[in-house]
């Protein structure tokens, strides 16, 4: 198996649509130029939640893979989301991903798992094993909030990580104590599995606790700040980490703090539109445009964080 390093920052890209809800490829290319080129951005993750992957056709997923690969080149890892509602569909998506150049398949929990599968390894183990049997590329596990019912128990994650081609866990448990439990237990069982911090409200705390990298949709809008945070983490420079976190805090609270959380990726697109990176912040249904007062708050947070210096 080819060695794939997921150290550093992985950008989970948002996806840009025009007013007719077709993919706006010109805006997408500008987005890639903005968020994948800063120093410290090591990998790119497409077709996930940030990229509204559940709304995409197979043809759109493939075209996103092709265009993203053409932009970032062959050296950097390209990850793609496997968001499915049946195991057969997940296997089809994984084969599609491998055929069209993805380096890693990121396996999302199915909505059905919220009915009790989070603590019973049989269901997700069966899903992951069937994907691993169908493709040769490695897999990352997409750990969601445990409160959602779709986040897996620590023991389930450890069981998944016993598989050689499970190379990473996108850790989004939304619980700092559980984050540390997962980090310690997984590393004890498989030291080489990358733990990718993804709990947006406390990235600073995760960096202090330990991580192999950051994976976040926020990196679509604030790649430079996250890259700086990672660099300060490697240097073990607590003073600089705190200073960066002071800049991150108001942006994070504006994007993720106020309900409804379903708007988080649309809010990122509002910020990117305000910066002039993309033409439209329109999401595909079931997501809806955000209210005007939220748009104003996002614009203020973007300006106060000094993000225009990076455009």
281-309 residue pLDDT tens? 999 999 999 999 999 999 999 999 999 99
Q: How much is the average pLDDT of 179-201?
A: 98
Give residue 305's pLDDT: 96
Q: CA 235 to CA 23: how far, in whole Å?
A: 40
Provide the 8-state DSSP code for 1. -
How confident is the model at residue 235, as a pLDDT? 98
- What is the predicted pLDDT for the residue at 124? 97
Angle at 190 between CA 184 and CA 193, to 5 degrees: 90
Distance CA 53, CA 57 (A): 9
Asked, for residue 311, whether it belongs to a domain, the answer is no
Q: List all residues 6 or more positions away from 239 whose beta carbon is below 8 Å from its beta carbon.
A: none
Q: Is residue 226 situated within a structural domain?
A: yes
Q: What percent of the chain shows pLDDT beyond 90? A: 98
CATH code: domain of residue 43: 3.20.20.70
pTM: 0.97
Under 8 Å between Cβ of 234 and 42? no
Given pLDDT bands bounded at 50, 70 and 90, which one contains residue 87?
A: very high
pLDDT digits (tens, 9 = 90+) for 138-177: 999 999 999 999 999 999 999 999 999 999 999 999 999 9
Tell me how far apart the alpha carbons of residues 140 and 212 are, in angstroms, rounded to a whole number. Answer: 13
Three-class HEC string of 256-281: HHCCCHHHHHHHHHHHHHHCCCCCCC
pLDDT for 2 beyond 90: no
Residue 104 is assigned to a structural domain of this protein: yes
Residue 79: in which H helix or E strand, if any?
strand 78-82
Backbone CA torsion sign across 3, 89, 111, 48: positive
Give the pLDDT of residue 120.
Answer: 93
What span, in angstroms and rounded, lies between the C-alpha atoms of 265 and 289? 11
Predicted pLDDT of residue 1: 72
Provide the Cα torsion 77, 158, 215, 49; round to 10°. 100
Number of domains in the chain: 1
Residue 282 DSSP symbol: P
**pLDDT at residue 141 in the model:** 99
CB-based burial label for 218 (10 Å; 0-12, 13-18, 19+)? buried
Q: What does the pLDDT look like over 204-258, one tens digit per residue?
A: 999 999 999 999 999 999 999 999 999 999 999 999 999 999 999 999 999 999 8
> For residue 90, is it within any domain?
yes
**Dist. CA 191–CA 184, nearest whole Å:** 9
pLDDT tier at 3 (50, 70, 90 boundaries)?
confident
**Does residue 287 lie in a domain region?**
no
CB-based contacts of 106: which residues, under 8 Å, 6+ apart?
45, 48, 79, 80, 81, 82, 139, 140, 141, 142, 170
Q: Decide if pLDDT at 18 tops 80.
A: yes
Would residue 279 be called left, alpha or beta, if left means φ above 0 and alpha means ψ between -120 and 50 degrees? alpha
Distance CA 228, CA 266 (A): 24
pLDDT digit string, tens, across residues 218-228: 999 999 999 99
| Residue 283 resides in a domain | no
- Cis peptide bond N-terminal to 196, omega within 30: no
Whether residue 126 has pLDDT greater than 80: yes
Confidence of residue 24 (pLDDT cuts 50, 70, 90): very high
Domain enclosing residue 27, as ranges: 8-235
Q: How far apart are CA 138 and CA 119, in angstroms?
A: 23
- DSSP designation for 5: -
Residue 227 lies in a domain: yes
Average pLDDT of the chain to the nearest whole number: 97
Average pLDDT of the residues in 109-121? 93
- The confidence score (pLDDT) of residue 72 equals 98
pLDDT at 106: 99
15: closest CA among 42, 58, 41, 45? 45
Residue 160 lies inside a defined structural domain of this protein: yes
Mean pLDDT of 276-283: 98
């Amino acid at each position: 198996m080819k060695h794939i390093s997921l150290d550093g920052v992985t950008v989970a890209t948002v996806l840009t649509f025009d007013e007719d809800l077709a993919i706006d490829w010109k805006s997408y290319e500008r987005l890639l130029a903005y968020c994948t080129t800063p120093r410290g951005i090591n990998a790119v993750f497409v077709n996930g939640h940030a990229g509204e992957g559940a709304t995409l056709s197979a043809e759109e997923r493939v075209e996103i893979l092709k265009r993203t690969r053409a932009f970032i080149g062959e050296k950097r890892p390209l990850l793609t989301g496997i968001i499915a509602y049946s195991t057969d569909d997940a296997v089809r998506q994984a084969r599609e991903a491998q055929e069209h150049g993805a380096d890693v398949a990121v396996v999302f929990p199915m909505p059905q798992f919220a009915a009790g599968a989070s603590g019973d390894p049989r269901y997700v183990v069966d899903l992951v094993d069937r994907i691993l049997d169908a493709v040769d590329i490695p897999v990352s596990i997409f750990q969601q909030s445990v409160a959602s019912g779709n986040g897996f128990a620590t023991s389930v994650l450890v069981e998944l990580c016993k598989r050689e081609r499970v190379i990473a866990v996108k850790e989004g448990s939304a619980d700092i104590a559980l984050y540390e439990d997962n980090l310690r237990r997984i590393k004890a069982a498989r030291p080489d599995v990358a733990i990718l911090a993804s709990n947006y409200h406390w990235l600073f705390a995760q960096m202090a606790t330990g991580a192999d990298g950051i994976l976040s949709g926020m990196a679509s809008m604030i790649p430079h700040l996250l890259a700086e945070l990672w660099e300060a983490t490697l240097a073990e420079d607590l003073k600089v980490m705190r200073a960066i976190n002071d800049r991150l805090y108001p942006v994070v609270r504006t994007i993720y703090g106020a309900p409804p959380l379903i708007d988080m990726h649309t809010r990122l697109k509002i910020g990117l539109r305000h910066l002039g990176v993309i033409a439209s912040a329109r999401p595909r249904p079931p997501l809806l445009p955000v209210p005007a007062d939220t748009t104003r708050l996002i614009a203020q947070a973007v300006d106060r964080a000094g993000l225009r210096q990076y455009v």
